[in-house]
Amino acid sequence: MVLIVLFTPPGFFADNSQVIAPLPLPRNRLTVHPEDNHMHTIIIAGVQPFCIMVSAGDQAYIEEQLQRPITPLEYACFENLWSEHCSYRSTKPFLKTLPTTGENVLLGPGDDAAIVKFSDEIALAIGMESHNHPSYVDPYDGAATGVGGIVRDIISMGAKPIALMDPLYFGPITEEKNRYLLEHVVQGIGDYGNCIGVPVVRGEVRFDERYSGNPLVNVVSVGIVDPETYLTARVKKPGNRLVLYGASTGRDGLGGASFASRDLSEDAEAEDRPCVQVGDPYTEKLLIDATLEMAATGTVVSCRDLGAAGLAGASSEMSSSFGARIEADRVHLRETGMNEVEIMLAESQERMLMEVAEEDIPALAAILEKYSLTWRDIGEVTEERRYVVTFNGTVVCDLPIDLLVEGAPGEEWESRAYTKEEPYTAPEGDLKELCLAVLSHPDVASKEWISRQYDHHVQLRTVSTAGGAGLLRLGDSALSLSCGCSPRQIELRPYDGAANTVYENAANLACVASTPLCVVNCLNFASPVHPEIYWQIGEVVRGMGDMATAVGAPVVGGNVSLYNESDEFGTQILPTPSIGMAGKGPVMCYTLPEDGAILAIAGTSTPALGGSVLDSITGCGGPAPDVADPSILEKIRSFVKQGGFAADISAGGLVAALAESALRASVTLEGDAIPVLFDESPGRFLIAYTDESIAKELDAVEIGTVGGDELIIAVDGTLIRLTPQETQAAQNALTSVMYVE
């Protein structure tokens, strides 16, 4: 008999680990290997290491509910489905406060993806996921499978994926390890997206030392579907069959959900590699085409992607409105000798599960076989609300489905507010040098090295990827997409920073005359065990919800990623509530202002340099920005529709906005040079126009004109001259570091 070890919650280890269950496998295949005084890893001969982690409190609660010992598969199911990644144990009370409904929301949070009405003929399927820990352990496969997973969430709704966005966060680019991670994450996203024919139309990359050892890889996917015929991931009728199709199941990705719910250890790259899935984009492309063809028949009753917690997660969550009986030995396998825990919990990629009436299986099977996809009828929807799994004729799991899927006790941690804003100290140095330093900071510099690896125009819908938002043509209108956040500002003031994150994305849409439709998010934080972090989470969700309501963009879905800490670097990530926003507006090309156009600043804000790029470079400190007033957004939309140009002033401040939008111009500014040039407080826009009448409602302050041979800025008695060559050299800083002939 081999022992499975009991663990305390993620982030802690118990000195008094307890034996909780025997594993019914041949003794000659099993050994117990002590890694240290606190944990044991079960080694199965010929199998990757796999740990069962269940807290003592959970064990007592489960045993009380079931009144019997628990099988190894049941423990594995609870470990994964009750993990933070799947159950949102620490964050559910906060998430319930978010605005999730609206006139265009057809299906909100809780499914594989949300469904939002775009027009009478088109609905959007939209979702957002993180693949953070896997992307540190294996950046190429971790990022690639992150794309594959969120795309399958879209196709499970019967939707055709049409766009991707990728907000990314790394440690300083000056360090070789971080350059390696960036290189391979971008390659993984590009290769997978390009192979399946889905364009990456927007992205963000931020760099800070607190992401060293724990980069963040967040991905948004958007699809289109008929508003009347989209699928859902909830079963509809007892007696229907559950059909698994796609790639074969192997041992890759075992324990992936629980792996995503704990800190990264010093030896993560070696120890945790088995938790990282390996993707196959060519099979994914077949899945896309086959699923859409099957959905068009009207005989697919429901469908779900196999993601976190593998088949156990998909089949139990999908069947939670009724019950399910799964025959694990009927699953098609890539490897021999797999036991029931491996079969049910493996997170092998490119697999889907659908509910169909038994009489419709032959017709759907014919479609799958046309695409050379393997399928198996592995179970049925049951009337009784239980989750039952058999293996070789033996019941190896028999649980109340409500207990497994929705029964995880909440985790409420201590909360403690903090103050991190520092007094402002004016940075010393030449103003021109400060301008070039800000322009060359990788947060501000050109991301051409990244974007050139993505196919932006596959599917021929992309109108523009320039500026702050991507535009795709959908019928007579444009779908506008924006993503990202400002982590350093959020750390200083979590509520204000999160509210401004939503505002900034809405501002990006306003610059292409678009109105927000919805928001999805990835809430990335360190461990909620720390009182300051738990306070951050609550404040961020509150700020996000308030501004989402103010701009009319309900939060329709997302993901929570906690325990983003690195033992190796001793770092906790910045609070990073990365969001994706979708909007609707006119089809328009993003073009820079022409020579002779008047430059002006519209909107107002209180200067605040805390958390800015300048602060990152010089340590100047200062308060973080106040919450922006969204009332200006409608005026900006109207201005742009009339032919004006607008750019949101954000990362890098006004000097960055000028360098990106008016490389050759003459500008005169009033006030103290440092805040005037580098303040990133939201609420202001750099605008340009030739017809002054269209700018009247904005009450803008004119600052200069476009034209000339260089960017000339007169401010506070100083004349700054930036030649196009100097500006472009600064903006190419990231490319020059990463590009290899």
Active site residues: 85, 131
Q: Quick check: 547 and 497 in contact, CB under 8 A? A: no
Contacts of 739 (CB under 8 A, 6+ apart): 449
Give the DSSP letter of residue 329.
G
Q: Which residues of 316-344 are buried (b: 16+ CB within 10 A; e: fewer)?
A: bbbbbebbbbbbbbebebebeebbbbbbb
CA dihedral (397, 401, 403, 408) positive or negative = positive
Taking the C-alpha atoms of residue 309 and residue 319, their distance in angstroms, rounded to an integer, is 15
* Alpha-carbon distances, residue 247 vs 113, 289, 293, 414, 617 (angstroms): 22, 14, 18, 44, 48
Q: Give the helix/strand (H/E) hosting 504.
A: helix 494-510
- Cα maximum dimension of the chain: 85
Tokens of 212: 């060293």
Taking the C-alpha atoms of residue 234 and residue 354, their distance in angstroms, rounded to an integer, is 10
Exposed, middle or buried by CB within 10 Å (0-12, 13-18, 19+), for 212?
buried
What does residue 516 show for φ and ψ, rounded to 5 degrees? -60, 145
Q: What share of the chain is helix, strand, coil (3-state, %, to 5)?
A: 35, 25, 40
Taking the C-alpha atoms of residue 732 and residue 723, their distance in angstroms, rounded to an integer, is 14
Contacts of 110 (CB under 8 A, 6+ apart): none
Contacts of 733 (CB under 8 A, 6+ apart): 439, 440, 441, 442, 445
